[in-house]
Amino acid sequence: MNNSVFSSCFRIFLELYFKNYFTNSGHYPIMMQNMQIKKVVFFKPGAIGDFLQALPALQALKRKFPAAHITVVVSPGLDELIQGTSIADRVLVFDKTKFKKRAKDFIDFALCLKREQYDLFVDMQTSIRSLMIRAVNHAPRTLIYRKQKIYNPGTRRLHAAENFMETLRPLGIHEPVESIDLPLRKEANLHVDQFFVEQGVDQRKPLIALNCSVGSARPARNWFPDRFGELADQLIKDLNAQIVFVGGSEDRDVIQTIVSKMHKPAIIAAGCLSLSQSAALLARVACLISSDTGPLHLATAVGTRAIGLYGSTDPRRTGPVGKKHQIIIKNFSCVPCEKKECPTGTRLCMTEITVQDVFQAVQKALHT
């Protein structure tokens, strides 16, 4: 029996065994509007974009139960985004890599949650591990996120943020998702002030951020490094802009190669700032250009205009939330394919996005 079949069978077995748990999956319909909720765990480890898209649901939960103590479980690094803010009363880190190596650490984590005796467990990152944690915790009420994978012709595909919000319907929460709002930490802003001084940022010129990497896991999403370099030079020359390349330390090599081929200097922030500091930097730029990945959603969450370059992924599902953002996507029969790698090997959807397409979008962002 292969791993996927085993995982599916194991999931079904546990769901049936613990069928007394309340969920909003349709199997056990209940309404919880009048329930007394004092302690909540909001379980959302995962990628940065996924967490940010779940943020409106978390904030709606906080508004529904303002007196409740809410613990938020996130992946390593994401804790600094919300630690010490009004979003969560307590933040815990779920280190999947560490738990894979040491089962004892995973068990200790589950038991740590159990000792808190939560009234409500909101599972926004469903997996075998989260199911096991829910089973150990045995919270009186549980809500489980169900991803909209299939939608019929004539029906609307839910944005991921709306899909997360749907999880809270049994609580009587039916809020529309109009924006993603991430508060900035004071110390992060101060660090960016110092970074700008060190880099000689001229506040009189428009500062434009470029994110030129989506990582190695989903190469079909990415635009091309040489085009980012060409775009950066044109923005500097024609719009008198300053360019800052953002991303993680793993992106520095490709960024340094891009900058070395440019005719004009640019700032490299990738690998120099923490996640909360990157959020503070993105809040200062005029706009961000990026494919569908974490920095795009981080810019959206701090109120910065985003220009999203889409192809393999569906902007109806993962596009930037809010007004004045722009999507560049080409109309091909295979778009969006939702594949990690291009099925045809041509990456035509990204190839057809030209430097001029993006330059015109930046012009629009700066003048509207």
The structure's pTM equals 0.89
Indicate if the pLDDT at residue 124 is higher than 90: yes
Query: Structural domains in the chain?
Result: 3-171 (3.40.50.2000), 187-367 (3.40.50.2000)
Residue range 191-204, pLDDT digits in tens: 999 999 999 999 89
Buried b (16+ CB within 10 A) or exposed e, 35-55: bebebbbbbbbbbbbbbbbbb
DSSP 38-96: -EEEEE--S-HHHHHHHHHHHHHHHHHSTTSEEEEEE-TTTHHHHTTSTT-SEEEE--H
Cβ neighbours for 121, distance < 8 A, ≥ 6 positions apart: 40, 41, 43, 134, 137, 139, 141, 142, 143
Percent of the chain with pLDDT over 90: 82
Encoded amino acid at 332, one letter = F
Strands lying side by side in the sheet with 90-93:
90-93, 69-74, 39-43, 120-123, 141-144
- Quote the pLDDT of residue 11: 54
CA distance 22 to 4: 26
- Quote the pLDDT of residue 262: 97
Partner residues linked to 144 by β-bridges: 123
Residue range 215-271, pLDDT digits in tens: 777 889 999 999 999 999 999 999 999 999 999 999 999 999 999 999 999 999 999
H or E stretch at 143: strand 141-144
Please, which contacts does 128-136 make with residues 24 or more away whose CB atoms are closer than 8 Å?
A: 128/7, 128/10, 128/11, 129/96, 129/99, 130/43, 131/11, 131/14, 131/15, 132/14, 133/43, 133/109, 134/18, 134/21, 135/14, 135/18, 136/110, 136/111
Indicate if the pLDDT at residue 27 is higher than 50: no
Indicate if the pLDDT at residue 91 is higher than 50: yes
- Quote the pLDDT of residue 151: 72
DSSP 244-306: EE---GGGHHHHHHHHHH-SS--EE-TTTS-HHHHHHHHTTSSEEEEESSHHHHHHHHTT-EE
User: Count of CB atoms within 10 A of residue 194's CB?
Assistant: 9
